[in-house]
């Protein structure tokens, strides 16, 4: 056996996956509570102990990990215009697997600085201006940031004409200060790859240590990346294939969690019908969105509020019944539904979370009436022809009827302007291996791909 | 000399793309960096693009007769967003019907445009004017 140990240090659970590279099988998976306060290895060891050891003991040829423990990778991004470089910076941070705490636009104010001090991000991403475009705002923002009382890692990805100057200003206070390519080199051109790599580099060299995760590196080779990056990487591999091994084609992965619902799409999203004009920022082929108000437990109150009347209609419950249920989840976020009624509540909530999260992820089509007839304008990705929707995350995996919840991702004829998949097949990441396979991709992409194809369960 | 940036677009629910491409070509050939935001452009898109790219001028086209409605308030929004002094040109079939161009011009000048062009203007005219307005002509 050629055993590889893959670990995901999550915010709540540490998940362990052991893979045999030879037989291309999952040898075992297990989880235990994450122990960041004491020693992060305690949780990992108790998870590992749950998997029966072979005769000669484990002999791992590789040991890799990703982490979203200790708050994950928390970032604050800043750009110039909200819809342009600030949005591009936000997407770069999300694509790097970060939790984006705030996105600021235009000139930073003292109030913005106070927010930065309070929310303690791990990395700041500073953008603004196209290459050769606006230079004043990013320089002023660098000046403002250099007055912060604490030093933070900063990635600069703005107007290249003043990047060095901005870095010099920031280095008076902050370290490291890394310069990446502009997230928007030309107007309407999104270029997030260089910023993403810079963020990952800073994460590996500085953040892991700052979070006390380096203790794990004595046993492991290294913590490779934040968990969301691992999931994105696995998603990309699964969609595209590797070498002669075909992938599953363009797909969406929906991760319904207790605090957020994350949607990943690996798809171009070009218009599926002729003569549609594209508007707005171009969409990244690998796109991740995180909805902080659409969680099933920690943010269940926010979800009820956001979902509003459709949820109540679907459930047929009174307001008090809903409030009672919410208080149960408040007491115990890990509560598993006890009765049929409670399960019904979970399905209705899950359906809403998936529906709204995918709504926000996909694009819109709009009819514009001109004196020469109707024209169609598309903003965002058209995912109507998309064939594969994959569900993952604790809530779906422990649910008796994940398909019912995942149906929220499907196109609704009553809302024809929202470009969700019309007739997809549904799969479940039953063994919860996507993050682990993102890690395995670093060792053997082919095996990671084959294992994913083998272990995704068609619903 | 440093290349000057201009934002070019067809404002409102107007889909006339041909003239837009010709202007893009002509201004690029004349040495400008053209940020072409294309057809169906909103006032906000003009302004946001100008802010990010540090543009010197907004070149607004309108061919379908609703230009007066679409352009109203553009100067005020520029002022509000900190680019109040940006040069603004407008041209095309700005109004419906056969109205006297002088009165049309007056209305658009009052709206805060620096220059207003009648239908049938060739690109050379605004290019020359822009060079003059930006102090680029050597004479």
Q: pLDDT tens digits, residue range A179-190?
A: 999 999 988 889
B14 catalytic residue (yes or no): yes
Could you give the dihedral angle defined by the CA atoms of residues A350, A353, A359 and A361, in that order, rounded to the nearest 10 degrees?
-110
Could you give the dihedral angle defined by the CA atoms of residues A162, A168, A174 and A175, in that order, rounded to the nearest 10 degrees?
100
Question: Who contacts B103 (Cβ-Cβ below 8 Å, separation ≥6)?
Answer: none
- pLDDT of A112 strictly over 60: yes
> Quick one: average pLDDT of A135-156?
96
The total of other beta-carbon atoms located within 10 Å of residue A185's CB is 18
Q: Does residue B118 sit at the A interface (CB-CB below 8 Å)? A: no
Name the residue with higher pLDDT: A452 or A259. Answer: A452
- pLDDT of A445 strictly over 60: yes
Of the pLDDT bands very low, low, confident and very high (cuts 50, 70, 90), residue A117 is very high
Peptide bond into A321 cis (omega under 30): no
Best of B52, B77, B82, B96 to disrupt the A interface (most A CBs within 10 Å) is: B52
Please check whether residue B44 lies inside any domain of the structure: yes
Please give the Cα distance from A141 to A149 (Å, whole number).
Answer: 15
Which of chain B's residues have a Cβ under 8 Å away from the Cβ of A277?
A: 15, 38-40
Average pLDDT of chain A is: 91
> Quick one: average pLDDT of A296-307?
86
Please check whether residue B63 lies inside any domain of the structure: yes
Please check whether residue B10 lies inside any domain of the structure: no
Please check whether residue B81 lies inside any domain of the structure: yes
> Quick one: average pLDDT of A281-285?
89
B139 catalytic residue (yes or no): no
- pLDDT of A311 strictly over 90: no
**Model pLDDT, residue A26:** 94
Strands of A117-209 (E only): list them: 123-126, 154-156, 177-179
Strands of A227-351 (E only): list them: 251-256, 261-266, 276-279, 286-291
Q: 């057809």: which residue's tokens? A: B39
> Quick one: average pLDDT of A274-282?
84
Q: Which of A123, A120, A163, A116 is nearest to A142 (CA)?
A: A163
Q: Which of A39, A449, A21 is nearest to A235 (CA)?
A: A449
Which of chain B's residues have a Cβ under 8 Å away from the Cβ of A375?
A: 15, 40
Please check whether residue B78 lies inside any domain of the structure: yes
**Model pLDDT, residue A444:** 95
> Quick one: average pLDDT of A255-283?
89
Interface of A with B (CB under 8 A): 80-81, 83-85, 128-130, 132-135, 184, 187-188, 277, 279, 368-372, 375, 377
Are A153 and A175 spatial neighbours (Cβ–Cβ below 8 Å)? yes
Please give the Cα distance from B69 to A245 (Å, whole number).
Answer: 57
**Model pLDDT, residue A437:** 97
Question: Who contacts A311 (Cβ-Cβ below 8 Å, separation ≥6)?
Answer: A304, A348, A349, A352
Best of A106, A184, A187 to disrupt the B interface (most B CBs within 10 Å) is: A187
Of the pLDDT bands very low, low, confident and very high (cuts 50, 70, 90), residue B1 is low
**Model pLDDT, residue A447:** 96
> Quick one: average pLDDT of A202-211?
86
**Model pLDDT, residue A106:** 93
Nearest by CB to B52, which of A80, A279, A372?
A80
> Quick one: average pLDDT of A46-65?
90
Name the residue with higher pLDDT: A338 or A155. Answer: A155
The alpha-carbon gap from B70 to the nearest alpha carbon of chain A, in Å, equals 13
Answer yes or no: do B54 and A81 touch at CB < 8 A.
no
The total of other beta-carbon atoms located within 10 Å of residue A69's CB is 26
Please give the Cα distance from A438 to A228 (Å, whole number).
Answer: 9
pTM for the whole structure: 0.86
Answer yes or no: do A81 and B52 touch at CB < 8 A.
yes
Strands of chain B (E only): list them: 5-11, 33-41, 57-62, 87-92, 115-117
> Quick one: average pLDDT of A123-129?
96
Q: What is the pLDDT of residues A15-33, one digit of tens each?
A: 999 999 999 999 999 999 8
Please check whether residue B92 lies inside any domain of the structure: yes
> Quick one: average pLDDT of A146-155?
96
- What is the ipTM for the molecules in this complex? 0.79
Domain count, chain B: 1
DSSP A245: B
Of the pLDDT bands very low, low, confident and very high (cuts 50, 70, 90), residue A217 is confident
The alpha-carbon gap from B131 to the nearest alpha carbon of chain A, in Å, equals 19
Percent of chain A clearing pLDDT 70 (strictly above) = 100
| Of the candidate ranges A76-90, A301-315, A366-380, B31-45, the one whose mean pLDDT is the lowest | A366-380
The HSE-up count of residue A385 (CA atoms within 13 Å, CB side) is: 9
Please list the helix, strand and coil fractions of chain A in percent, rounded to the nearest 5, in that order. Answer: 40, 25, 40
**Residue B92 structural domain:** 36-119
Q: What is the pLDDT of residues A365-417, one digit of tens each?
A: 988 777 677 888 899 999 999 999 999 987 788 888 899 999 999 999 999 99
Which of chain A's residues have a Cβ under 8 Å away from the Cβ of B15?
A: 277, 368, 370, 372, 375
Please check whether residue B41 lies inside any domain of the structure: yes
Q: Which two tokens stand for residue B6?
A: 């201009």
Please give the Cα distance from A274 to A107 (Å, whole number).
Answer: 41
Nearest by CB to B13, which of A83, A134, A370?
A370
Please check whether residue B134 lies inside any domain of the structure: no
**Model pLDDT, residue B139:** 53
Q: Which two tokens stand for residue A324?
A: 């009672």
**Model pLDDT, residue B48:** 94
Most confident of A148-152, A211-215, A299-303: A148-152
- pLDDT of A132 strictly over 80: yes
Q: What is the pLDDT of residues A337-362, one digit of tens each?
A: 888 888 888 888 999 999 999 999 99
Total CB pairs under 8 A between chain A and B: 58
- pLDDT of A10 strictly over 90: no
Bridge partners of A369, per DSSP, are: A374
Q: Does residue B51 sit at the A interface (CB-CB below 8 Å)? A: yes
Q: What is the pLDDT of residues B42-99, one digit of tens each?
A: 999 999 999 999 999 999 999 988 899 999 999 999 998 889 999 999 999 998 888 8
- CA A295 vs CA A92, A303, A306, A394, B69: distances in Å: 23, 6, 11, 11, 44
Please give the Cα distance from A44 to B138 (Å, whole number).
Answer: 74
The alpha-carbon gap from A116 to the nearest alpha carbon of chain B, in Å, equals 24
Please give the Cα distance from A206 to A176 (Å, whole number).
Answer: 9
Which of chain A's residues have a Cβ under 8 Å away from the Cβ of B3?
A: 132
Q: Is A381 helix (H, G, I), strand (E, B) or coil?
A: coil
CATH value at residue B71 = 3.40.50.280
The alpha-carbon gap from B14 to the nearest alpha carbon of chain A, in Å, equals 7
Question: Who contacts B139 (Cβ-Cβ below 8 Å, separation ≥6)?
Answer: none
Are A459 and A396 spatial neighbours (Cβ–Cβ below 8 Å)? no
Q: Does residue B58 sit at the A interface (CB-CB below 8 Å)? A: no
Answer yes or no: do B33 and A132 touch at CB < 8 A.
yes
Answer yes or no: do A368 and B13 touch at CB < 8 A.
yes
Question: Who contacts A209 (Cβ-Cβ below 8 Å, separation ≥6)?
Answer: none
């Amino acid at each position: 056996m050629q055993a590889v140990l893959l670990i995901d240090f999550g915010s709540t659970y540490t998940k362990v996956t052991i893979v045999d590279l030879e037989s291309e099988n999952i040898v075992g998976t297990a989880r235990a509570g994450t122990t960041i306060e004491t020693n992060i290895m305690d949780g990992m060891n108790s998870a590992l102990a749950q998997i029966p050891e072979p005769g000669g003991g484990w002999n791992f040829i590789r040991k890799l990990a990703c982490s979203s423990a200790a708050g994950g990778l928390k970032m604050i991004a800043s750009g110039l215009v909200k819809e342009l470089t600030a949005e591009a910076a936000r997407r770069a941070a999300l694509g790097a697997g970060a939790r984006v705490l705030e996105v600021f636009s235009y000139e930073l104010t003292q109030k913005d600085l106070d927010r930065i001090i309070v929310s303690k991000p791990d990395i700041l991403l500073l953008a603004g201006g196209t290459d050769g475009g606006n230079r004043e705002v990013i320089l002023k923002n660098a000046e403002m940031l250099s007055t912060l009382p604490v030093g933070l890692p900063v990635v600069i990805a703005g107007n290249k004409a003043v990047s060095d100057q901005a870095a010099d200003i920031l280095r008076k206070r902050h370290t490291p200060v890394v310069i990446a390519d502009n997230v928007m080199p030309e107007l309407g051109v999104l270029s997030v790859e260089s910023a993403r790599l810079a963020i990952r580099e800073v994460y590996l060299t500085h953040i892991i240590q700052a979070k006390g995760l380096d203790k794990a590196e004595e046993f492991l080779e290294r913590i490779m990346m934040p968990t969301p990056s691992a999931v994105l990487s696995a998603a990309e591999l699964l969609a595209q294939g590797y070498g002669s091994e075909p992938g599953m084609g363009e797909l969406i992965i929906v991760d319904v969690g207790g605090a957020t619902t994350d949607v990943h799409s690996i798809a171009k999203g070009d218009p599926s019908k002729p003569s549609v004009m594209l508007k707005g920022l171009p969409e990244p082929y690998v796109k991740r969105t995180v909805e902080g108000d659409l969680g099933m437990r920690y943010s269940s109150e926010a979800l009820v509020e956001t979902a509003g009347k459709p949820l109540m209609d679907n459930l047929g419950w009174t307001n008090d019944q809903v409030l009672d249920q919410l208080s149960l989840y408040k007491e115990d976020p890990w509560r598993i539904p006890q009765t049929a009624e409670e399960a019904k509540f979970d399905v209705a909530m899950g359906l809403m979370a998936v529906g709204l999260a995918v709504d926000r992820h996909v694009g819109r089509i709009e009819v514009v009436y001109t004196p020469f007839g109707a024209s169609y304008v598309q903003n965002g990705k058209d995912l109507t022809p998309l064939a594969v929707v994959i569900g993952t995350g604790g809530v779906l995996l422990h649910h008796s009827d994940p398909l019912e919840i995942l149906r929220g991702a499907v196109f609704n004829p009553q809302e024809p302007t929202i470009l969700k998949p019309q007739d997809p097949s549904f799969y479940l990441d039953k063994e919860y291996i996507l993050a682990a396979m993102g890690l395995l991709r670093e060792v053997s992409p082919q095996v990671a791909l084959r294992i994913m194809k083998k272990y995704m369960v068609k619903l | 000399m440093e290349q000057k940036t201009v934002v070019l677009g067809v404002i409102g629910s107007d889909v006339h793309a041909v003239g837009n491409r010709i202007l893009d070509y002509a201004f690029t050939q004349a040495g400008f960096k053209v940020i072409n935001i294309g057809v169906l452009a909103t006032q906000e898109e003009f302004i946001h693009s100008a802010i990010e790219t540090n543009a010197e001028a907004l070149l607004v086209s309108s061919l379908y007769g609703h230009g007066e409605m679409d352009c109203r308030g553009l100067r005020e929004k520029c002022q509000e967003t900190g680019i109040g002094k940006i040069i603004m040109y407008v041209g095309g079939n700005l109004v419906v019907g056969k109205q006297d161009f002088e009165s049309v011009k007056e209305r658009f000048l009052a709206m805060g445009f620096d220059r207003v062009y009648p239908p049938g203007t060739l690109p050379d005219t605004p290019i020359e004017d822009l060079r003059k307005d930006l102090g680029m002509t050597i004479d």
